[in-house]
Amino acid sequence: MKPDHFVVQSPSAPPKQLFLLYHAAGDNPVSMGQIGSWFAEVFPQALVVSIGGPEASGPAPGRQWFSEAALSDTSLQQRVDAAMPLFLQSVSEWQQLSGVLPEATALIGFSQGSVMVLEGCKAQPTLAGRIVAFSGRYASLPEQATTKTTVHLIHGEEDDVYQAELAQQAAARLTSLGGDVTLDIVEGLPHAIDQRSMNLALDHLRYTVPRRYFEEALSGGKPGDDVITFVS
């Protein structure tokens, strides 16, 4: 089944940025769209779309990308890999529809949605310019990294679904591979998104300068004129 979607914001002029949101298992695109409204308010020139998982999960209208029943590290990678072609297609289709380049695309996930966006950029390193991963993890830690994608990991200190150590391990691995990553552990926060974590996400998108810009400057180049940065 093709993923459903909910358009949170569609600007009247051609969008300068694309925000794609991916929800937790058992949630739905309309509910995740409430998180998208925060991004829409700060980035009025962005197309903001919440994407639903392709499978039913729990009571309607709950959706998922893969089943979390009897999940292990090995089966997690297998299930993510099986869902990945449709996930990558969802990103590509919205980039084509909006006319927004990968550099100006932000993928935002929560829980299972974060697993998909992290693994998506592992599978296709030029998929998006930014990732915001709330309370997620890699199915397995990456073996390579790129500065073409800036990864923002935001995690609750008291998360009992995906422990905060998983985010710390991911940040350490990306850093060791020369990737571009930030990590914020929110004190006392369980498996959830609160005002503090939202503020961190928005501040990173507005104020954190991607490492690739520094590298281009040091090499004598500059960001291309067709690349739209995340400036509100």
Instruction: Give every CB contact of residue 92 below 8 A, 6+ residues apart in sequence.
Output: none
Of the candidates 5, 159, 197, 204, the residue annotated as catalytic is: 159
Q: Is 180 a catalytic residue?
A: no
Of the candidates 31, 75, 191, 232, the residue annotated as catalytic is: 191
Q: Is 159 a catalytic residue?
A: yes
191-199 long-range contacts, CB within 8 A, separation 24+: 191/111, 191/135, 191/156, 191/159, 191/160, 191/161, 191/162, 192/135, 192/156, 193/35, 193/110, 193/134, 193/135, 197/134, 197/154, 197/156, 198/35, 198/38
Helix H or strand E encompassing 87: helix 73-98
Q: Is 73 a catalytic residue?
A: no
Q: What separation in angstroms does the CA of 194 have from each of 4, 138, 197, 218? A: 25, 22, 5, 38
Rounded (5°) CA angle 34-37-38: 110
Indicate the length of the chain as a whole number.
Answer: 232
Of the candidates 57, 98, 111, 197, the residue annotated as catalytic is: 111
Q: How far is CA 52 from the centre of its chain?
A: 14
- Enumerate the active-site residues: 111, 159, 191
